[in-house]
Structure 1
Amino acid sequence: MRHGALTPFHAELSCDSCGQLPEPPRSRLTLANVAAMLPIELLVHALVVQTDLSYPVKVLILTVTATVLVIWVAEPSATRLLRRWLHGPALHRRKNLHRAHSLWRARTILADRPGALERITHALSCLDINILSIHVHPVRDGVLDEFVLATPGGLTEQDLLDALVAGGGSSPRVVRTTPIALVDGQTRALSLAARIAGNPSELPLAVADLLSAEIVSEPGQHPVQGHAADGTLLKIPTAWHQPIIFARPGNPFTPAESARAHRLAELAEIVELSQTKAA
């Protein structure tokens, strides 16, 4: 295969942004490596043990030969031959995504007690809704569950809201979304951190991107007076002596989201101070 050509498998599963395959589950990767290494280990031992070499030489040959064969033959072969099985969960998730008529991001507050999540997932499954991802944020009144949902055709926003309430959720909110909502959270945060490290002035745009919020006030602008009691305003300090204020009407910021924004602000401040000292 020529360099850079995409096989049907790669085209089906590789990331649209970076072109890389997702990391397979550790348990499947371990089983695949064991299945590939065991025959090689048995064959090498059978060939070496029956020779007349001294015991230390046999141990050395077994160690070096088995290690080289495992690294250069077994692991690459297992990854190549069993790749559909290794990436089976990701393939299943991608197929569900492509079959979905609509994608929604949903948020609702649940009581922090056993069985609460089970009830709401059951209510969603009754409408043939597939949960593609879920994140849980501790809040004052319980836990805020955030879902990315794939829904069949015909379901409306009100249907989703009713299902969330029927499952025990309160203050439900749903908005349409795109496959980008499924981008790995750690990768996205690291990309934004790298963006800020390269240019600290990108902080307002990076935080707005991270939290899907709008910038209300930047350093150098007239600050917004007051605060939102419903938690839809977020203020983060900066190295420029004036805070940046973000708003997300109808969708309060969680403590975890606030912490992420503050960590990015700290990174921008560190880079800005370092550049000032260097100058």
Structure 2
Amino acid sequence: MALWRIRATVDDRPGYLSVLTASLALRSVNILAVQVHTTEGGAVDDFLIDAPDALTEADLRAAVARGRGRDAFVTRAEAQGLADQPSRALALAGRVAHDPDGLGEALISLLDAAEVRWRPEPPPGRPGFDDTHMRLADPLGGSYEVLRPRPAFTPSEFARARALVALAGTIQRRHDEQVTLLLPSGKELTVRPASAGDLDAVRDLHGLPDARLRRLLAPAGGVCLVAENADERIVATASLVVEGDVGELSLLVDAGWRRRGLGTFLLGRLRKWAGRHDLTAVVAHVRSDDVAMLRTLGGICSGADSGMVDVTLAVPADSLSGDGAVLNAGG
């Protein structure tokens, strides 16, 4: 027995797929996997089959034709083709998550492409595809061109490729947003966007129920930053929840890391984020007796209610630079 891949178009009508599979069965072909791609020209059926050694490519093309298939693409397949397409796509997504720079090779594997080219300019016209070319916009700038002589690209393949490119862009942005903070003491902290995987690490710091911690790590419409030490222990969090054009700030620094400029640095990062996203102000709710935090925030304070003070920070353009400097402020 030998592994083959067959792709053919059939009319998207009830029973037509069964006619094609019956024609293959008459030649003792065992269908191991099948995908159906919906296109304007009909349903494109993609089979991975195990066929008797005596069958040739011409025999398989003839079986497809008798099964009302057209535009047949027939080629020998490798054992790795036994993996179903969703599992294959998930494995490639995991590879890209660990190495976004390997996106080109992942696209080749995902699409069985002949070549992938990256260009610094956006794709000509809108992203899309024809039979042999696929054009994808790179979220970080530029574009990808994917080439495959045969078989023709399908809409579902284009959707998968776009999702993989978007994932790579998200991972790369998160990597670019990670910075190393050198404190006046000489110790270094890594400041990066939070993720759902940080839940266990921030539980002890905040002492909040998990439901609230999840909302803290992924604030609606906003951003959450964490600072971790050399032992990958999270020692501070800073989050911004957006409502309209105002961001609500939450800042917590572990007691052993206060008065080192960390709170001021995180505040600067959030104000810069607020400026990039066209917010007009940042608001924090602080205990009226938390002198260190009030000094770190600065801003305009308004009336206390049950021992709480509202601190409003403007986001002027001139406050969006220099946030990487280490300042000797409390926090």
**Superposition TM-score tier, normalisation by shorter sequence:** 0.5 to 0.7
- 1:213 paired residue among 108, 113, 119: 113
- 1:243 paired residue among 140, 143, 153: 143
Q: Does 1:140 align with 2:40?
A: yes
Alignment of 1:11-160 (within 5 A): 100=1, 102-160=2-60
Contact 1:131 1:150 in 2 (8 A): yes
Contact 2:113 2:148 in 1 (8 A): yes
- The residue number in structure 2 matching 1:255 is 155
Q: What is the SS of the residue equivalent to 2:13?
A: coil
TM-score calculated relative to the size of structure 2: 0.50
Q: What is the SS of the residue equivalent to 2:177?
A: helix
Q: CA deviation at 1:191?
A: 1.6
* Whole-angstrom distance in 1 between the partners of 2:41 and 2:83: 28
Contact 1:217 1:224 in 2 (8 A): no
CA displacement 1:9-46 (0-9 Å, x = unmatched): xxxxxxxxxxxxxxxxxxxxxxxxxxxxxxxxxxxxxx
Contact 2:128 2:135 in 1 (8 A): no
- The residue number in structure 2 matching 1:18 is none
Q: Which amino acid is the alignment partner of residue 78 of structure 2?
A: T
Between 1:105-114 and 1:233-242, the stretch displaced more is: 233-242
Among all aligned residue pairs of Structure 1 and Structure 2, give the percentage whose two residues are the same amino acid: 34
Q: CA deviation at 1:240?
A: 3.7
Contact 1:215 1:244 in 2 (8 A): no
Q: Which runs of 5+ in 2 are unaligned?
A: 180-331
Alignment of 1:185-200 (within 5 A): 185-200=85-100
Contact 1:231 1:252 in 2 (8 A): yes
Contact 1:211 1:257 in 2 (8 A): yes
TM-score calculated relative to the size of structure 1: 0.59
- The residue number in structure 2 matching 1:85 is none
* Whole-angstrom distance in 1 between the partners of 2:164 and 2:128: 22
Q: What is the SS of the residue equivalent to 1:132?
A: strand
Q: CA deviation at 1:239?
A: 3.1
Q: CA deviation at 1:201?
A: 1.0
* Whole-angstrom distance in 2 between the partners of 1:213 and 1:121: 26
Q: CA deviation at 1:257?
A: 0.8
Contact 2:34 2:46 in 1 (8 A): yes
- The residue number in structure 1 matching 2:208 is none
Contact 1:217 1:223 in 2 (8 A): no
Q: Which amino acid is the alignment partner of residue 161 of structure 1?
A: R
Q: CA deviation at 1:228?
A: 10
> Per chain length, whose mean CA-contact separation is higher, i.e. which structure has more relative contact order (CA < 8 Å, sep 6+)?
1
Q: CA deviation at 1:122?
A: 1.3
Q: What is the SS of the residue equivalent to 2:37?
A: strand
Q: Which amino acid is the alignment partner of residue 143 of structure 1?
A: A
Q: What is the SS of the residue equivalent to 1:218?
A: strand
Instruction: Give runs of ≥4 in structure 1 deviating > 6 Å.
Output: 221-225
CA displacement 1:116-154 (0-9 Å, x = unmatched): 011111111111111111110101111000001111121
Q: Which runs of 5+ in 1 are unaligned?
A: 1-99
- 2:64 paired residue among 158, 161, 164: 164
Q: Flag the 1:141–1:126 CA change in 2: closer, same or farther, 3 A.
A: same
- The residue number in structure 1 matching 2:131 is 231
Q: Which amino acid is the alignment partner of residue 106 of structure 2?
A: A
CA RMSD of aligned residues (A): 2.4
- 1:180 paired residue among 80, 85, 88: 80
Contact 1:120 1:166 in 2 (8 A): yes
Higher strand share: 2
Q: Which amino acid is the alignment partner of residue 149 of structure 2?
A: P
* Whole-angstrom distance in 1 between the partners of 2:121 and 2:136: 15
Whose Rg is larger?
2
Higher helix share: 1
